[in-house]
Amino acid sequence: QSALTQPASVSGSPGQSITITCTGSSRDIGGYNYVSWYQQHPGKGPRLIIYEVSLRPSGVSDRFSGSKSDNTASLTISGLQTEDEAQYYCLSYATGSLYVFGPGTTVSVL
Amino acid sequence: QVQLQESGPGLLKPSETLSLTCTVSGDSLNDFYWNWIRQPAGKGPQWIGRIHTSGRSSYSPSLKSRVMMSIDTSKNQFSLQLTSVTAADTAVYYCARNLGFGVSHWGQGMSVTVAS
């Protein structure tokens, strides 16, 4: 049972912006600025797209952005493209030097 | 560019101990956290634990009683042991390295099946 919650699915049309939320508690998301986001296409491993709430690793498109408010972190994908269809997972650092993943959100491009 | 590669047995019987090794190339292990993460088929990833080159480690509370990690900087390897496996431990196992508090570099993943 994940301690974080994400919507099961989010969809949008090409060119639109969508936002995926990840809600936790003061013991994880609310207590630290250490939320990261991962994109996973079928049959592939997860790929880091945002770390420490809003930082993008080298090579990740600036169409991906992250933010956080209280116990909820958000990933926004702007200018939605067909290649953005994938599963998206949040990961938060938590009290006790632990990490916890969210259950994942399926992004569909209509 | 750092690369990680998991190795170990892909098939285990219930009650056996899973032992996986991650070999790191392209960089040293020094001063990073090294993680093990698993993903059952059709489900999301589960963080198993991490170990620092200093030897400090932390594990998921749900697995803590069965997990042990070790690190060998001379071989550029780190390892996972998971005891008393059951079918619920069947998954793809990834080794991975941190970038800050994110997990940036992942191995290709190793499929592990527990079956009698």
pLDDT digits (tens, 9 = 90+) for A6-50: 999 999 999 999 999 999 999 999 999 999 999 999 999 999 999
Tell me if chain B has a CB within 8 Å of the CB of A36.
yes
Amino acid A27 reads R
Q: Does the distance separating the beta carbons of A34 and B47 come in below 8 Å?
A: no
For residue B26, what pLDDT is reported?
92
Q: Is A2 a residue whose pLDDT tops 80?
A: no
Residue pLDDT, tens place only, B38-59: 999 999 999 999 999 998 999 9
The three-point CA angle A46-B29-A66 to 5° equals 35
Q: Are B86 and B74 in contact (CB under 8 A)?
A: no
In angstroms, the CA A49 to CA B14 distance is 37
Q: Does the distance separating the beta carbons of B47 and A100 come in below 8 Å?
A: yes
Residues of B in contact with A99 (CB under 8 A): 35, 47, 50, 60
List the helix and strand counts (H, then E) for chain A: 0, 9
- What integer is the mean pLDDT of A43-64? 96
In degrees to the nearest 10, what's the CA dihedral of A68, A60, A39, A26? -20
Q: Are A48 and A101 in contact (CB under 8 A)?
A: no
The three-point CA angle B27-B30-B34 to 5° equals 85
For residue B27, what pLDDT is reported?
87
Q: Does the distance separating the beta carbons of A45 and B106 come in below 8 Å?
A: yes
For residue A3, what pLDDT is reported?
86
Q: Which residue of A has its CA nearest to B35?
A: A99
What SS3 class is residue A29?
helix
Tell me if chain B has a CB within 8 Å of the CB of A87.
yes
Select the residue of B102, B108, B109 nearest A48 (Cβ to Cβ).
Answer: B102
Residue pLDDT, tens place only, B56-115: 999 999 999 999 999 999 999 999 999 999 999 999 999 999 888 999 999 999 999 999
For residue A1, what pLDDT is reported?
46
CA–CA min distance B91, chain A (Å): 13
For residue B22, what pLDDT is reported?
98
A20-24, B10-14, B28-32, range with the lowest pLDDT = B28-32
What SS3 class is residue B28?
coil
In angstroms, the CA B22 to CA B56 distance is 17
Average pLDDT, chain A: 96
Q: Are A18 and A24 in contact (CB under 8 A)?
A: no
Interface mutation vs chain B, best among A48, A53, A88, most B CBs within 10 Å: A48
- What integer is the mean pLDDT of A71-98? 97
CA–CA min distance A62, chain B (Å): 17
Tell me if chain A has a CB within 8 Å of the CB of B94.
yes
Residues of B in contact with A68 (CB under 8 A): none
Q: Does the distance separating the beta carbons of B106 and A98 come in below 8 Å?
A: no
Q: Is A87 a residue whose pLDDT tops 80?
A: yes
